[in-house]
Structure 1
Amino acid sequence: MKKILSALLVGFVGLSADDRLLEIMHLYQKQGLEVVGQKLDSYLADKSFWAEELQNKDTDFGYYQNKQFLFVADKSKPSLEFYEIDNNMLKKINSSKALVGSKKGDKTLEGDLATPIGVYRITQKLERLDQYYGVLAFVTNYPNLYDTLKKRTGHGIWVHGMPLNGDRNELNTKGCIAIENPLLSSYDKVLKGEKAFLITYEDKFFPSTKEELSMVLSSLFQWKEAWARGDFERYMRFYNPNFTRYDGMKFNAFKEYKKRVFAKNEKKNIAFSSISVIPYPNSQNKRLFYVVFDQDYKAYQQNKLSYSSNSQKELYVEIDNNQVSIIMEK
């Protein structure tokens, strides 16, 4: 968030850093911190701010507010690349051939021998496995929310090594991604338990553009603004008619549920941090993005705290006809 605040004070929509700082100081003196926060949020909801913020960044694989590590697997080669992302600048650490599942396209069923296509989190490291899996394995969160709501089954999709006894004649895995043990060990030393994502695609990867990321990020803060202000109609316009919540709730039921929540007229304080926006490969070639961030949410009635949560929020959004809409949420 410090990086975002710094960017807000460096030239935005025609204002110099000094002019903007002066404007914020006057707001603080006259109306206090709450109004200053609203002003900063209005900057973040402006697409031109993000266009400037992303101008000199590496954005092919998305936007990452915090330092991250990224695996990128191409099923068609097959290959696995490993990157470090710091201040949204990409550094390729290494790349290599890999083994993947024999089935092309999406993974849809348990045991279908397909490596899934999409964006996944590395959730843990496993060691002291059967020697067949090599020195270690990085566990992914397949099936993720997108897979689950698409009713895809299966589990245990790992990035793992080769058999320690050297006895591997198969040219494919059952759906995992396998690379040579020394390389996998070197990645483990770089990661040191840090967070990492895995992007998997087939045939062609469609990188995210700065225009797309600016649209998604500004829409994210416009959605937050509508939510915080209790503007129900505007809030719901950010949702795709084909929206599905994590528990299977569809758009119409979700709308009625949110209508009841908004009717409470609670005052809300909502803060987003650690934002990542990642292009989501898919067999339909839709422009989908996985958006994940930490959310601090507080609601008040009659100046008393009525609800509080601090959690990780996940959105899957689609860009269609230059409009950003939420298709899935958790």
Structure 2
Amino acid sequence: MKKILSALLVGFVGLSADDRLLEIMHLYQKQGLEVVGQKLDSYLADKSFWAEELQNKDTDFGYYQNKQFLFVADKSKPSLEFYEIDNNMLKKINSSKALVGSKKGDKTLEGDLATPIGVYRITQKLERLDQYYGVLAFVTNYPNLYDTLKKRTGHGIWVHGMPLNGDRNELNTKGCIAIENPLLSSYDKVLKGEKAFLITYEDKFFPSTKEELSMVLSSLFQWKEAWTRGDFERYMRFYNPNFTRYDGMKFNAFKEYKKRVFAKNEKKNIAFSSISVIPYPNSQNKRLFYVVFDQDYKAYQQNKLSYSSNSQKELYVEIENNQVSIIMEK
């Protein structure tokens, strides 16, 4: 918020810092907090704001508003790296060799012996497993929304240890990622139950650029602005013609559904927080990004609350020809 307020102050060209603050106070006094909020929203929708915000950040693996831990697996080596990200500064904790599935490329079917390519959340820790899986296992959310809508099957993709009896002759897993037990235990002590993501790729990782992240973040708030103001045509322009919603609804059906919702002419208050934007590796080498954030949504009719929700929102977006579009949403 301090960064946003600083940007707002700078927006009043030719005034001293005190005069700028006074100008904001006058704006608040004459037109109220809602107008000040709209002014702040306009900065969040401006790519130049995000370019400045990201200027001195480590952004190869994306943008994270909250402290995060990150596993990065290269299937081609294979290896597993472990990072801490705090205030978007990247700290490598360790890296090691790893075992992965024998099949190259995407995981598409149950039992195909492939480690999936993409971005996954670590959802839980399992202990007291069969000794074959070592001291513990971190469970991923494979299949994620992207996999599900691509009709990929399978389950139980873990980051786990080596057999406790030392009897492991296989050079590959059935699709999981396996590392030595002492190292896995040390990662568990660092995590302490905190949130973590897993990025998996093969052969070459294409880091996110500050330009790309600025585009995605500013587009996110432009989309929110159109949504809040009930600008249906502008809102729909953020969606890719090949868009699919989490339940399989395609672009045309989604457009008709949203047209009915927008026709209610509800006043909306929408707030985004805890935003993460992560480059999404894929075998088509498209510039895809996984965007996840907390969304507080309230709608009003005749000044009465008509709908309220507080949930985690997931978007998969694509950058093509310098345009950001939503290809999947939940």
Give the CA deviation at 1:23: 3.9
Alpha-carbon offset, residue 22 of structure 1: 4.0
Q: How many Å separate the matches in 2 of 1:7 and 1:64?
A: 20
Q: Give the conservation status (yes or no) of the 8 Å contact 1:133–1:162.
A: yes
The 3-state SS of whatever aligns with 1:119 is: strand
Output one character per residue of 1:249-270: Cα deviation in whole Å (capped at 9) or x when no partner. 0000000000000000000000
Q: Is the CA contact (8 Å cut-off) linking 2:7 and 2:43 kept in structure 1?
A: no
| Pairwise CA distance, 1:234 | 0.1
State the shift of 1:79 in Å. 0.3
Cα shift at 1:11: 7.7
Measure, in 1, the Cα distance between the counterparts of 2:94 and 2:13: 39
Greater shift, 27-36 or 313-322, is seen at 27-36
Cα distance in 1 between the residues matched to 2:18 and 2:255: 43
Q: Please say if residues 106 and 117 of structure 1, whose CA atoms lie closer than 8 Å, have aligned partners that are also in contact.
A: yes
Mapping 1:109-128, distance limit 5 Å: 109-128=109-128
CA–CA distance in structure 1, aligned partners of residues 289 and 231 of structure 2: 25
CA distance in 2, matches of 1:210, 1:14: 29
Please give the secondary structure, in 1, of the residue aligned with 2:10: coil
Preserved contact between residue 10 and residue 16 of structure 1 (Cα < 8 Å): no
Q: TM-score, normalised by structure 1?
A: 0.96
Unaligned runs of 5+ in 2: none
Q: Name the CA shift for 1:8/1:150 in 2 (closer, same or farther; >3 Å).
A: farther
Alpha-carbon distance in structure 2 between the residues aligned to 1:76 and 1:12: 52
Contiguous gaps of at least 5 residues in structure 1: none
**1:151–1:118 CA distance, 2 compared to 1 (3 A):** same
Counterpart Cα distance in 1 of 2:210 and 2:109? 35
SS of the equivalent of 1:172 reads coil
Q: Deviations over 1:84-107 (max 9, x none)?
A: 000000000000000000000000
8 Å CA contact retained: 1:13, 1:49: no
Q: 1:229 to 1:113 in 2, by over 3 A?
A: same
Cα distance in 1, alignment partners of residues 157 and 164 from structure 2: 20
Partner of 1:250: 250
Name the count of aligned residue pairs.
330
Question: TM-score, length-normalised on structure 2?
Answer: 0.96
Q: Does the aligned pair in 2 maintain the 1:12–1:49 contact within 8 Å?
A: no
1:40-189 equivalence runs, <5 A: 40-189=40-189
Shift of 1:203: 0.1
Distance 1:153 1:194 in 2: 28
* Secondary structure of the structure 2 residue equivalent to 1:102: coil
- Residues 209/306 of structure 1: CA separation in 2 closer, same or farther (3 Å cut): same
The 1:12–1:276 alpha-carbon spacing in structure 2 relative to 1, beyond 3 Å, is farther
Q: Are residues 40 and 182 of structure 1, via their aligned partners in 2, closer, same or farther at CA, if it must alter by over 3 Å?
A: same
Alpha-carbon distance change, 285 to 138 in structure 1, aligned in 2, over 3 angstroms: same
Q: Note the C-alpha offset of 1:30.
A: 1.2
What is the CA deviation profile of residues 248-299 of structure 1, one whole-angstrom value per residue up to 9, with x for unaligned ones?
A: 0000000000000000000000000000000000000000000000000000
Identity level (%)? 99
Q: Structure 1 residue 25: deviation in Å?
A: 2.1
3-state SS of 2:108 partner = coil
